[in-house]
Chains A and B, each alone.
Chain A
Amino acid sequence: MSQPSSRDTELLSVYLDGQLSKADSARLESRLKTDPELRAVYEELRQSQALLRKLPARRAPRNFTLTPKMAGIKPPLPRAFPVFRLASALAAVLFFLGYALNLSASLAASMSVATPLVANAPAAAQMVAAPTEAPQTFAPKVAATQAVLPAQQDNLAPTATPETMTLAVPPNEAMPQRGLEPQPAEPPALPLDPAWLFGLLGLAVVSGASAFLVRVRTDQNWSKANAAGPVRLGARERLLIALVAVIVLLLAAAVYWMSTGFQLL
């Protein structure tokens, strides 16, 4: 007797499952009658199959029904959501365009202010040099004035005008006030009133917040209706909200800074 080949074992297994053709089955059955080894293997296969089928079926330990969240079903978007979102996006785009426009105008204005200063440098240098000559040119005039009007001094003194007061001041102190004293900087004229920028920024924030709130409210209602559990903001969403708030504050500060002509505090 020889051990059945793997081919014979496979044939026996298929025969056991009733999947062998009639002709092959007949051939195998005749061999089984004469070959005890083949019969033993068949018996092993049959018993193995019978034992495996005896395994008790276990009940599922719980229900495996899916919740909408598990199924990846998202709540429908509220109708107002796209409107608010579009309004927020448009306001944000207009805000940045307006800001860029004002910024470029401010830069152009500062460039045009810087250029004349450089071009008039010699004149400025002369004016700076003037105080050194002033005592010589103005002092006699002042002295003459004081000499011509000595008799009037008693009358003038109580009603001294600023002009006369100025004249009384030493020339080297009076001269720098003539055009060289730094004047308080005037904020440059902006093409778009910063109030508009504030308005656009506000609109973007209000629209965005409205879109967010409408979405959250719809999610909550949908979750309640579908028993999908409460809607809670995750750490990522909270961080995003905080980040947006910081960015909005920075933008508002940037607009304010622009409205003051970029004056340092």
Chain B
Amino acid sequence: MDEAALILDAQRGDLDAFNRLVLAYQDLLYNTALRILGDEALAADATQDSFISAFRNITAYRGGSFKGWLMRTVTNACYDELRRKKRRPSVPLEPTNDEDEEMESPRWLADPSMSPEQKFEADELEHAIQHCLEALPVDFRTVVVLADIQGLDYTEVASAARVPLGTIKSRLSRARLRVRECLQGFKELLPAAFRLEEENIL
């Protein structure tokens, strides 16, 4: 697939050429949306919206990483979906304590008071990781999904998330620590090599 030629044709209004790009990138965009939104239906909607937006604005693409450019459209679509979701009653992404203040540590996820149903839902590693991702603030989650799950470099992440490079580095380090800390609540699901015992750390 000659990506540059397809992009050029798409910029001239060739929908078939653009659809070949869609087929090449749809798994990537869908996965990104799925990890940011944590919901298959919303992720599908965001993916479709992002491709529509990409086609309508493809003349604005001026070279560089096309993957990064598409990631920006899907990130925007995810933010739109989250805004729509926020207008409807939903569970807050950040846990709060009794005084209605945001809890710094996401250890609440490993709370023994977690219902059996919740435990059952999170009894697979994938679910556990997704659970921990959703416990992150959306800006942190986006950065960690783009960098660690989709393998974008810092520049591409900064472009997709539209934040400075320094902010990306800061958010990524904090997000990684939070995810690791959260996953300690599901250590029985982690492969042996990933089980961090407190005594080993200290």
Contacts and interface: CB of A to CB of B under 8 A. Distances in A.
B151 to A, nearest CB: 8
Contact of A63 (B26, B52, B202): B26
Interface in B39-68: 40, 44, 47-48, 51-52, 55-56
Contacts of A14: 169, 173
Contacts of A61: 30, 40, 44
A64 B176 contact: no
B144 interface: yes
A55 B194 contact: no
B51 A64 contact: yes
B91 interface: no
Nearest to A57: B31
Contacts of B47: 60, 64
Contacts of A230: none
A12 interface: yes
Interface in A72-90: 72-73
B48 A64 contact: yes
Interface string B161-176: 0000000011011101
30 contacts: A6-B173, A10-B170, A12-B173, A13-B172, A13-B173, A13-B176, A14-B169, A17-B147, A40-B201, A40-B202, A44-B201, A48-B148, A49-B148, A52-B176, A53-B151, A54-B129, A55-B126, A60-B29, A61-B30, A61-B44, A63-B22, A63-B26, A64-B22, A64-B44, A66-B51, A66-B55, A71-B15, A71-B52, A72-B52, A72-B56
A10 B194 CA distance: 21
B196 interface: yes
B13 interface: yes
Given A51-B129, A51-B190, A65 B177 contact: no
A51 B179 contact: yes
Contacts of B29: 60, 64
Contacts of B125: 51, 54
Interface string A1-45: 000001001101110010100000000000000001000110111
Given A13-B173, A55-B149, A63 B23 contact: yes
A40 B201 CA distance: 5
Contacts, number: 124
Query: Which secondary structure dominates where chain B touches chain A?
Result: helix
A59 interface: yes
Nearest to B195: A47
Contacts of B15: 66, 68, 71, 73
Contacts of A47: 180, 194, 196
A123 interface: no
A58 B38 CA distance: 12
Contacts of B174: 6, 9
A258 B165 CA distance: 77
A64 B169 contact: no
A236 interface: no
A53 B44 contact: no
A43 B196 contact: yes
A40 B202 CA distance: 8
Contacts of B190: 51
A48 B177 contact: yes
Contacts of B130: 55
Given A13-B169, A71-B15, A44 B180 contact: yes
A51 B181 CA distance: 12
A13 B147 CA distance: 11
Given A43-B201, A57-B31, 14 more contacts: A6-B170, A10-B173, A45-B176, A48-B179, A48-B183, A52-B144, A52-B176, A55-B129, A55-B130, A58-B34, A60-B29, A64-B22, A64-B26, A65-B19
